[in-house]
Amino acid sequence: MNKMVTGVLGAMMFAGLATTALAEDTTLTIATVNNGDMIRMQKLTDDFTAANPGIKLNWVTLEENDLRQKVTKDISTKGGQYDILTIGMYETPIWGAKGWLVELNGLDAPDDILPAVTGGLSANGKLYAAPFYGESSFVMYRKDLMEKAGLKMPDAPTWDFIIDAAKKMTDRANGVNGICLRGKAGWGENMAFIGSMANSFGARWFDENWKPQFDTQEWKDTLNTYLAVMKDAGPEGASGNGFSENLALFQSGKCGMWADATAAGSFVVDPKASSVADKVGFTLAPDKGLGKRANWLWAWALAIPAGSQKVDAAQKFIGWATSKHYAELVASKEGWANVPPGTRKSLYANPEYLKVPFAQMTLDSMNAADPQHPTVKPVPYVGVQFASIPEFAGIGTKVGELFSAALAGQMSADDALAQAQQYTTDAMTKAGYIK
């Protein structure tokens, strides 16, 4: 971005001054995911358009799996349908290295972004996406039901504790499931959770020579434990539940515990949306005593496809949406609890934000994730709940479908693992990883 554009961006972010309208109106088409933080951003964009009267916004809001499919197809075929994409830590380095994304410049205080997040959104030392929010995973739980079960949640729980608590908190006669976990198929849905869980059990996607590991005892223990606790303490129809479905269940009082994204924190404590807002506690994702917790590391971020003809306008919007100004705007309109978390160091130095009940636990959870060393044993890939190779999306989706089918009772755990091993071996051989 040239100095003039950078100056305009800075004026917008720091002084809120209206920028000069473009000679003719520019419409940005923005593809985004249908989660609460992104929907909130859409409601607040009057702040941006008032300062940039020449830029109009056209939103395409999609469920997570649909978003990934449509965005991937568009960018790989140079379709040019979107000017701004909502993508994550998996796609960004791969697409950036391929030249499919525009390098971002002129962001508000780039040195303020958490290093782990910047690293996950870069390729070859260049930033290709700006984080809208960052997340790990943690356990949300009902303090009242925990007490009723005669238990006290540890600050750093084990899987044994979580499983025991889930069983004791289950009261299906009154519509309460002890635990809600993702079951909907997708590499970023059920496999985000199960893959992170597997790390804590000592499992890994591939060994050092890229050989798939679904035939190991560690994976067998992971999947059997997951299926057993969901059978004993999970909700009906769990194979269709992703983030959004479990959020609705938890908010309506139907889950004793929910292990999922730290980004859910603001929604479960929102008294307008959550019937249990005043009863929620937070703790770290569980472990098996092997040195790794079942927490992931992710950021939903905004990027510009290389085919966009509206790069300057897109840079302006991304600068606004990921700025400290935007965080303050959300805080002023909806309270500090609703500020997009997990991206900026300054947010976690703000005493007002640290009063938010999940703030410190979010930061602790993100710091507990190590994308360079995600598992107990060595691996040839980077990524906590994914492997940063182009083939992973297809592999993770297929494995997610098999594990979701096992959860639905359509096949055994052993069959799901055997098919996962065969499919992944074939895919990795075809791609040339296995000689």
Please, what are the averages of pLDDT over each run of 10 residues along the chain (435 residues)? 40 39 76 91 96 96 90 90 95 94 90 89 92 96 98 97 98 96 96 98 98 98 98 98 96 98 95 97 97 94 94 96 96 95 95 95 92 93 93 97 98 98 98 94
Residue 215, class by beta-carbon neighbours within 10 Å (0-12 exposed, 13-18 middle, 19+ buried)? middle
Triad 141, 399, 370: Cα angle to 5°? 55
User: For the domain 3-135+297-354, what is the CATH superfamily, name and number?
Assistant: Periplasmic binding protein-like II (3.40.190.10)
Q: Which superfamily is assigned to 137-295+381-430 in CATH?
A: Periplasmic binding protein-like II (3.40.190.10)
Helix spans in 201-305 (H): 217-233, 243-251, 265-268
The pLDDT value recorded for residue 106 is: 81
Query: How many whole angstroms separate alpha carbon 2 and alpha carbon 66?
Result: 35
Query: Where along the chain do the CATH 3.40.190.10 domains lie?
Result: 3-135+297-354, 137-295+381-430
For residue range 175-232, what is the model confidence (pLDDT) as tens digits? 999 999 999 999 999 999 999 999 999 999 999 999 999 999 999 999 999 999 999 9
pTM, rounded to two decimals = 0.86
Q: What is the pLDDT of residue 8?
A: 37
Angstrom CA distances, 291 to 155, 269, 294, 310, stand at: 15, 30, 10, 47
Tokens coding 77? 């075929």
Q: What is the pLDDT of residue 24?
A: 62
Q: What b-and-e string marks burial along 157-193, b requiring 16 or more CB atoms within 10 Å of the CB? A: bebebbbbbbbbbbeeeeebbbbbbbbbbbbbbbbbb
